Amino acid sequence: MIYLDNAATTRLDEGCLDIIKEYGLNNFYNPSALYRKAMESGNAIKTARNIIAKSLGAKADEIIFTASGSEGDNIALLCSLRAKSGKIVVGSSEHSAVYNTALELKVRGYDVVFAPCDKFGKTDLEKLAEILDENVLLVSIMHVCNETGALNDLSTISKLIKNKSPKAIFHSDGVQAYGKIAVNVKTLGVDLYTVSGHKVHAPKGIGALYCRSGIFLKTFVFGGGQENGIRSATENVSSIMAFADIVERSFFNIKSNYSKVEELRNYLADKLLSTFDNLKINTDIKNSSPYVYSFAFNSARGEVLVHCLEDKGIIVGTGSACSAKRSTKRIPQALGISDDYSQGMIRISFCESNTKSEIDAFISALSESLAELIKYQNKSVGKDDCILTRLKLR
């Protein structure tokens, strides 16, 4: 199988298995207990917190472990607001974890405004500047767009916010950036920053939220007071330790991995443009992370192509896996994609182990799949034909 949907999730690093076994079978103790073995687990978590903090250019007490990137986004938006009313600014191409939380804030009475993006998913700074004012309480703009790979200049956005909305808290969803590009939260100027483990070969069910010293967060989960009282729950020690191990072992390769993936992404882009005519490119390779590349056809549905490619042993995506179970036009509309292409979006997302030979195999399989679909479209069949129904052809 060729796997090209790493923005959805990554394959677990085999090195994590020994750690999960160690803290699941041997050192399985509750870190909050008072006996020695439990305290050793607590100390292990402190070590892990230091590792995650160092990878972000933060302090250990600024790191909150979460169950996912989505939970981190929810905590950032729902728990950082002190006032019960005011203006919230959110990017229009945000991940559903931020977008839908913003809609919940709107229900609660906040004035939620969605900042427009360009056709590649990058936040439009001029239009953002027009939206910002002294009434803004919170701004959430993602670092790397999970749909297109668009890279937002958080440092510039932070300065803009401080100039026009000095009281605003600045949050960024960094899930698609962390472990792929160098991140220093102090340099970026963010107050809150979300990361996730399963996007970087750590287990699912573990993430972290950076919360700058001085930013107050209300309690999200009530209980025993873990994670500074913000998110009470017995710590997921095995996943925390596996996450930290991945960061410590592999993050020093960020620059070399970036160069490798950038070459691979450019190879894919050239192959696509030289092979297909009816193609719309949704990624600006000059201003994006090389780990995500999006394009669309007007001759076939992305969902259908995903299944056709899967039958040929190749896994790709159509966009955010978190929204895969329900159709949405939000992202195509935010990007200004016409109806002809909006249903034909494909997202390729890499990890450092992908190869050019896999790209060649993908291009070949994609060509075959499109030819097969055109054949079925041109074939005169009844509306009850099982193939036509399964493929959902237009």
Residues annotated as catalytic (active site), given as ranges: 322
Q: Which candidate, 124, 322, 107, places its Cα nearest to that of 204?
A: 322
| Contact between 69 and 97 (Cβ < 8 Å) | yes
Q: How far is CA 89 from the centre of its chain?
A: 19
Distance CA 245, CA 389 (A): 47
**Which uninterrupted H or E stretch holds 304?**
helix 302-311
The contacts of residue 302 (CB under 8 Å, 6+ apart) are 296, 318, 319, 343, 344, 345, 346
Cα angle 261, 285, 364 (rounded to 5 degrees) comes to 65
Phi, psi of 207 (to 5 degrees): -155, -170
**Residue 179 class from Cβ within 10 Å (0-12 exposed, 13-18 middle, 19+ buried)?**
buried
Tokens representing 384? 């009850």
Helix, strand, coil shares of the chain, percent, nearest 5, are 45, 15, 40
Q: Which candidate, 190, 171, 7, places its Cα nearest to that of 98?
A: 171
| Contact between 299 and 370 (Cβ < 8 Å) | yes
In SS3 terms, 85-100 reads as: CCEEEEECCCCHHHHH
Helix (H, G, I), strand (E, B) or coil at 121: coil
Burial 343-369 (b: 16+ CB within 10 A, else e): bbbbbbbbbbebeeebbebbbebbeeb
Instruction: Check residue 221 and report its DSSP letter.
Output: B
